[in-house]
Structure 1
Amino acid sequence: MGARPIQTEDLLRAVTIAESSNGSPEVAISPDGRRVVFRRREGFPAENRYRVDLWTVDIAVGKARALTSHEFSVHPHAVLGPCWSPDSTCVAYVLPGAPARRIRLLHVDGGQQDFAIGSGAVVTGVGSSVLRWSPDGRLIAFVRGADEGNVPSHPLLAPEGSYLDDDVRHGIEIDLARGSTLGWQVPPPVQSLCVLDVQTGRVSQLGPRTLNVTGFDWSPDGRRLVVAGSTQHTGPAADSRSDLMIVDVASGELEPCLDQPGADEHPVWSPDGEWIAFVSHRGEHTWTVGGVPAVIRPDGSALTYPARGFEERLFDAGNIFWSADSSAMFVEYPYRLGRHLFRVPLREGDPVQVTPPGDHWHSSFSASSTGRVAFVRESPVDPQEVCVADLDSTSPRPVTRLNGHLADRIRPSVRHLSWRSADDRFDIHGLLMLPPDHADGRRYPLLVELVGGPTMVPAAFGSYAFPVLAMAARGYAVLVPNTRGRPGFGETFGRAIAAGDAEFAEPWRDAMGGVDLVIQQGWADPQRMGVMGHSYGALLLAYGLTRSDRFQAAAFHEGAVDTLRTMAFQWDSPDNIARCRENTGRGSPFEPAERDAILAESPLHHVHRIHTPVLIESGELSPAAMEAAIFANALHDRGVPMEYVVYPRTGHVTDEVALIADDYRRDVTWFDYWLRDVPLTDRVKQQRYDEWKRSMRARAAAQALDEPVHTTTRKDPRR
């Protein structure tokens, strides 16, 4: 095909392996360190389907091949959770489909076995513990729940057959408000710890029936399992109230190991059997901030936090595994704008970064008994590939070339920027993408992406919600600022919003500091700027539009605008109340002073200040759908140009690849018109929008001269 700039179609066809940084690992290296098995997912936009299979690669040879050939699916999130047997001869994984009631064994020398798990389904959302072989290779431990299928359980997902309606597959564009609001899930039933005997096929439940398990691991002798869980809570409540317990495999008896407030999760037994490592919230009941690595003796003694004192550098620990000699843990951390592996000594010494420095994203680590690790590596411009490294060298060596079809795509250049916050409290960091042919002294239309969460701006391929890589290759400068309240830069920075900073005012000022810097450096044209955000990022965007007219266009995806209504609706239980306090830094919305403070930042209550055209997108089944409809109504009433799109069969995140393609197309078309004057195919719409542009230019000129503005800004541009 020849070299050309990367496009949205390339992003949709990129092969992916890891689902998320803290999700179930989809890479497994054999204990002998010779082979890697991994999940391979590829999207097919024209068919609106994904193909998800297991592949394997012989490390010495370096050639990958398929192990399975599953049916196509509209769901992209199938978790397979591959796990090698101790003798490296067999791979166990969760057979995709709905319901996920089978575990399949694939033998290296050929052949397979399927085992039914009885009622319920394998729970795949339990961190690093999907399937775990016992040390003797006789049993496989897993968690069984009531979920119908090994895709994330959500009441908003429609049945499989409803995804075949071609008439509405590409979105619904509407003028009048349409939407719905749905409450949160009822806490699900207990997730039980079970073991499968691979010789007899028998499945046994361990522990009391009230034990809800969120993570587990075997003891080296195979006689016990350590579990993270609760005997009193299920569902989201259990995620923030998990304790450590020991289950005797023979008797099923349960003994406490650690009982303290907050979450203690992702337990991993040391190879010598002396310690259990885990991620701990240090006895603090929190919902929105991360944890730190901890160790404890199996009898519940000697609780220690080995990385104590480094929280301002390393916080929000991810998956953990042990060194072969049990002298140290290896911990995944969000660090600066990347994700890296650190060696944390058990007793003495400082944490040491073992992955190469830089803005790269490393995830899904799997360690062999030989000291070799396999993992996924990517960057903002490099797609996911499986790499291997020895822990004593950690120089990544790719062993797959899954995205060779993208090798000749011309990609933007990426720069890591930093600037001081307006209140002089923090150094704010961000990624700046520049067109491949960028030149000094030339200014480009600027797009600012405000990531949702607030989660860390990831140095990962593609984008969280927008096709930023393709848009930068198209001629935009794209800034993605890591505003306060996000991981990657220590505990104080990550907890800034929960500690009392305004939920939107200071983060918005953080982002605008980055915009000012890019303009100052000569890369951005201040007369051609757009802003886009998803979820929290959309809310932050809406707040900013009520404070500034510096942006010529905006894209609002799955956000809220009535913050008082949102908080009042969620102020219904101790858990939700505490979560609201952490998310917003605010108190009760029913107290006059707090209510007034919330209203002061609420975008809806200042919507009359917005003069920026907005592309509004929402899933028809999303809890944020009503907020999108309200925002569309408000802009419609004010006569501000907007397009309101509701995607069918979609919740808070768009999953169907055909709908994602439609989403990307609309984003590109919207900003191309408003920032680059690219003509629209709809001439009538362009005439309306052109009229708005002229009125805004007249308004800006009049304001510059401090003269009255004679424009009819309440005129509906769609009429």
Structure 2
Amino acid sequence: MPLPAPPPTHGPTGPAEPAGSRLTADMVVDVAAAVAPAISPDGRLVAYVVVANGGGDGRPHGSLWVTTADGSTSPRRLTDGTARDLAPKWAPDSASLFFTSDREEPGAAQLQRIRLDGDEDIAKAEALTRWHGGISDHCPLLDGRTVALLAEDERREAGRDDVKVWGRHLPVTRLRLLDLETGVLRTVDGLRDRHVVGLAQRPDGGPLAVLSWSTPELDPGVVTAELHVVDPVTAGVHDLGPVGVEAQSPAWWNHDGIWHLAHLAVTPGHLVGELAVMDTVPPATGPAVGQRNLTAGMSVSPAELVQVADGPPLALFADGLDTALYRLHPDSLRFHQISCTPGMLAGLTANRSGETVALLASTAYEPRNVHAGPTGGPLVRLSDTMPELRGICWGVQERLGYQASDGLPLDGLLILPAGRSRDDGPFPLVTLVHGGPYFRHADEFTLSVVDCGQWLATAGYAVFLANPRGGSGHGHAFAATVVGAVGGDEWTDILSGIDLLVAQGVADPERLGISGWSHGGFMAAWAVGHTDRFKAALMGAGISDWGMQAGTGDWGIVDAALGGGTGWESPGPHAHDLHSPLSYASRIRTPVLILHGEEDTNVPLGQAIHFHRALRHFGVEHEFVVYPREGHGLQERAHQLDALRRIRAWYDRWL
């Protein structure tokens, strides 16, 4: 799927850095990002959201935009960006857009509609719901009169009546059907008290495919997923039974008059591993039988599955450093590649015929923007949200291919200091480890608080973006290797890449740093307990104790599978202690910067506090920073600025 060439001034091969174009933390934080593309059913228009800082609450807001899919007209802004306007979805007739917005009450998203029949600069939005619990997702139905909503139960907080009974402390999201003429909301009671996480209507206007969990809690929610078929007229429910871990993205498709229902889930029989595309033919009655893995044995990793009304589904696959578009062949029941694009593709959306797609695309020097075009390409760039970055001289980004110590082929990326070549080395090197661990560094533009490759490169650092085993893009076996063995082979994979860059004269062995967030933060903490080679480390929202993580983190049972246990299975010693950075704190001599959100439930703040106290006990130089109101990532502008400046200052001090 060819992409348009980037402008000649964007990137390290362009002219010398113009005056006044030095990259600042404010520029990084204040860039506008295109998200959530949605192509109209008729394929003529593409809507998307532009998210930017600048709101009075210090958090990002979103504005809705629309443009022609062929790029023949300039994008038109539909909303003013003063609220969180998100999740655009088209009406079946392509004449209006539904989206969610918290413009009436900050933090409580409601369903809105814009009719595209005016030419005013900012279109008038019509509020369609006043649901106190807020709307988390929506699906306009093909009858044109109904919208299926995922809406939370109302919360009890008035007058401090907010006692939390564990197991019932999170609001359940239920399937509700909104009649657009009367405004009446019906709850689909046949799903009982299950928490609904995904839905899709059959393309002939028939039933809804609905995915649910037993509870809103990730643990045990992700391992209790079930699939249902719901009649949108009668609200009758047909239970198809249990499906795999992390089930998501239901998609209908028809072959020879028979309706199939596919979805994404972790490879059957595993808690941790590659996502797979699972498929079944829903029976007229009773549970589904004979689910098939349509991606078994593939060496690439399905990332997104998209329903196409008039044909088999499309899917994006992580393919090493790149992303490929595939279509399911209905006869062979196998996915066939249509195209492969350097870098990252995401947010795939297709028109009714499946002949035209819109998505987000990013390459080494081009940030994510909306592109659209024929399914086989070429694609036209429709958005241009960060033109101010074109004056920056970026570090050259190289693709790396090398072998692990056991011979396993690996890939990664190297970003050289801006304006420098390999001949100018060796350089101070910061290794960035991705989170997950089921994630990857693609050959895309890296400029954020978490993926701060170019932020460091413009400050004179070489940056190694490592893709150790456990991540996506290389098949199930590659992804599942880390189960019960985190910090093992994935750690030596990272070392092999660093050793290669030292041997090639790129990295100065006396000025090495390591950095990561989430699972990458765990790896940074693990690294400094196993070697003194690093002169500085950053642990962002990282895990220090896998037993505590299994007992207190959102993912519970999945984290227990990664770390090797929970702690309650026996008096010990426990397998997870062998994989916990805390167990090796007495060995640490490397200065460590710890950054963590105070309200993080994915990796609770206690992980950072525990590690901080261990470092303090052993007299290790470190700095511990907690960001109020933040979860597993940083959203508030002031916090993002602080983190970017603090990270650079930390490496400037020690490297």
After superposition, the Cα gap between the structure-2 partners of 1:140 and 1:246, relative to the gap in structure 1 and judged at 3 Å, is same
* C-alpha distance in 1 between matches for 2:538 and 2:167: 29
> What is the CA deviation profile of residues 575-619 of structure 1, one whole-angstrom value per residue up to 9, with x for unaligned ones?
83x424421245756546652x44344332322221111112222
After superposition, the Cα gap between the structure-2 partners of 1:325 and 1:511, relative to the gap in structure 1 and judged at 3 Å, is same
* Alignment partner of 1:199 is 2:181: yes
**3-state SS of paired residue (1:226):** strand
Equivalent residues in 2 for 1:160-179 (5 A)? Answer: none
Residue 171 (structure 1) aligns with: none
> What is the CA deviation profile of residues 396-442 of structure 1, one whole-angstrom value per residue up to 9, with x for unaligned ones?
21012221121222212111212222233x22221111123222332
**3-state SS of paired residue (2:61):** strand
Residue 249 (structure 1) aligns with: 232
Equivalent residues in 2 for 1:202-601 (5 A)? Answer: 202-208=184-190, 209-230=192-213, 232-236=214-218, 237-260=220-243, 262=245, 264-270=247-253, 274-281=258-265, 284=268, 286-299=270-283, 303=290, 305=292, 307-311=294-298, 313-322=299-308, 325-326=310-311, 328-348=312-332, 350-358=334-342, 360-370=343-353, 371-391=355-375, 393-424=376-407, 426-441=408-423, 442-459=425-442, 460-461=444-445, 462-463=447-448, 465-498=450-483, 500=484, 502-567=485-550, 569-570=551-552, 576=556, 578-586=557-565, 590-591=569-570, 595=574, 597-601=575-579
Normalising to structure 1: TM-score of the pair? 0.78
After superposition, the Cα gap between the structure-2 partners of 1:604 and 1:46, relative to the gap in structure 1 and judged at 3 Å, is same
> What is the CA deviation profile of residues 442-476 of structure 1, one whole-angstrom value per residue up to 9, with x for unaligned ones?
21110011222213223243246152211112211
Residue 667 (structure 1) aligns with: 647
* C-alpha distance in 2 between matches for 1:647 and 1:71: 24
Gaps of 5+ in 2: 1-17, 119-123
**Structure 1 residue 220: deviation in Å?**
3.1
2:149 maps to which of 118, 142, 148: 142
**3-state SS of paired residue (1:660):** helix
Gaps of 5+ in 1: 19-25, 73-77, 124-129, 150-154, 160-181, 676-719
**3-state SS of paired residue (1:542):** helix
Q: Is the 8 A contact 1:621 1:648 kept in 2?
A: yes
**3-state SS of paired residue (2:332):** coil
2:600 maps to which of 622, 625, 641: 622
Equivalent residues in 2 for 1:109-148 (5 A)? Answer: 109-110=117-118, 111-123=124-136, 130-146=137-153
> What is the CA deviation profile of residues 545-575 of structure 1, one whole-angstrom value per residue up to 9, with x for unaligned ones?
12211111111222233445445x459x9x8
Q: Which amino acid aligns with 1:86?
A: P
Moved more, 87-96 or 345-354: 345-354
* C-alpha distance in 1 between matches for 2:497 and 2:165: 37
* C-alpha distance in 2 between matches for 1:318 and 1:544: 32
* C-alpha distance in 2 between matches for 1:514 and 1:543: 17
* C-alpha distance in 2 between matches for 1:260 and 1:369: 27
* C-alpha distance in 1 between matches for 2:545 and 2:276: 35
Residue 127 (structure 1) aligns with: none
Normalising to structure 2: TM-score of the pair? 0.86
* C-alpha distance in 1 between matches for 2:199 and 2:143: 17
Q: Which amino acid aligns with 2:301?
A: F
Q: Is the 8 A contact 1:289 1:316 kept in 2?
A: no
**Structure 1 residue 661: deviation in Å?**
0.6
Q: Which has the higher strand share?
A: 2
Higher relative contact order (CA 8 A, sep 6+): 1
**Structure 1 residue 665: deviation in Å?**
0.2
- Computing the radius of gyration over CA atoms, which structure comes out larger, 1 or 2? 1
* C-alpha distance in 2 between matches for 1:316 and 1:603: 31
Q: Which amino acid aligns with 1:15?
A: A
**Structure 1 residue 264: deviation in Å?**
4.2
**Structure 1 residue 387: deviation in Å?**
0.3
**3-state SS of paired residue (1:31):** coil
Q: Is the 8 A contact 2:462 2:507 kept in 1?
A: yes
**Structure 1 residue 477: deviation in Å?**
0.7
Equivalent residues in 2 for 1:41-56 (5 A)? Answer: 41-44=51-54, 48-56=58-66
Q: Is the 8 A contact 1:220 1:271 kept in 2?
A: no
Q: Which amino acid aligns with 2:563?
A: T
* C-alpha distance in 2 between matches for 1:206 and 1:590: 40
**3-state SS of paired residue (1:199):** coil
Q: Which amino acid aligns with 1:655?
A: Q
After superposition, the Cα gap between the structure-2 partners of 1:332 and 1:69, relative to the gap in structure 1 and judged at 3 Å, is same
* C-alpha distance in 1 between matches for 2:274 and 2:27: 34
* Alignment partner of 1:17 is 2:39: no
* C-alpha distance in 2 between matches for 1:238 and 1:362: 28
* Alignment partner of 1:103 is 2:83: no
* C-alpha distance in 2 between matches for 1:212 and 1:564: 27
Moved more, 547-556 or 377-386: 377-386
Q: Is the 8 A contact 1:82 1:131 kept in 2?
A: no
After superposition, the Cα gap between the structure-2 partners of 1:629 and 1:185, relative to the gap in structure 1 and judged at 3 Å, is farther
* C-alpha distance in 1 between matches for 2:333 and 2:269: 29
Q: Is the 8 A contact 1:207 1:247 kept in 2?
A: no
Q: Which amino acid aligns with 1:469?
A: Q
After superposition, the Cα gap between the structure-2 partners of 1:646 and 1:445, relative to the gap in structure 1 and judged at 3 Å, is same
**3-state SS of paired residue (2:313):** strand
Q: Is the 8 A contact 1:98 1:148 kept in 2?
A: no
**3-state SS of paired residue (1:356):** strand
Q: Is the 8 A contact 1:120 1:148 kept in 2?
A: yes
After superposition, the Cα gap between the structure-2 partners of 1:478 and 1:46, relative to the gap in structure 1 and judged at 3 Å, is farther
Q: Output the aligned Cα RMSD.
A: 3.1
* C-alpha distance in 2 between matches for 1:148 and 1:79: 22
Q: Is the 8 A contact 2:154 2:171 kept in 1?
A: no
* C-alpha distance in 1 between matches for 2:620 and 2:75: 53
Moved more, 628-637 or 44-53: 44-53
**3-state SS of paired residue (1:538):** helix
Q: Is the 8 A contact 1:131 1:140 kept in 2?
A: yes
2:73 maps to which of 62, 84, 91: 62
**Structure 1 residue 493: deviation in Å?**
0.7
Residue 172 (structure 1) aligns with: none
* C-alpha distance in 1 between matches for 2:41 and 2:223: 33
Q: Which amino acid aligns with 1:122?
A: I
Q: Which amino acid aligns with 2:321?
A: L
After superposition, the Cα gap between the structure-2 partners of 1:120 and 1:673, relative to the gap in structure 1 and judged at 3 Å, is closer
Q: Which amino acid aligns with 2:112?
A: R
**Structure 1 residue 290: deviation in Å?**
4.1
1:632 maps to which of 594, 606, 612: 612
> What is the CA deviation profile of residues 499-534 of structure 1, one whole-angstrom value per residue up to 9, with x for unaligned ones?
x4x211322111110000111122111111111122
**Structure 1 residue 185: deviation in Å?**
7.6
Q: Is the 8 A contact 1:103 1:114 kept in 2?
A: yes
* C-alpha distance in 2 between matches for 1:30 and 1:63: 17
After superposition, the Cα gap between the structure-2 partners of 1:566 and 1:118, relative to the gap in structure 1 and judged at 3 Å, is closer
